[in-house]
Amino acid sequence: MILLGLDIDSPGCKTTIIDFNGEKQNSAYREYILENPEPGLEELNLEKVWQAVQEVIKE
């Protein structure tokens, strides 16, 4: 049995795969940039976040 952990944060997302013995087997990370649609406002582009999530899971 293996477990896959997924961490989605504002600078990027990562996955870590841990085996039954608790040992880390693999990990992946993708960064995405906060967009500034107007001064003083920052937001995540959800399409870019979703793309990054799919990439780290595949890796």
Q: What is the pLDDT of residue 10?
A: 86
Q: How many domains does the chain have?
A: 1
pLDDT in tens, 34-52: 898 889 899 999 999 999 9
44 burial level (CB within 10 Å; 0-12, 13-18, 19+): middle
- pTM for the complete prediction? 0.80
Sheet holding 2-8, edge to edge: 2-8, 12-19, 24-31
What domain range includes position 31?
2-58
Q: Are β-strands 35-38 and 41-43 bridged in parallel, bridged antiparallel, or unpaired?
A: antiparallel
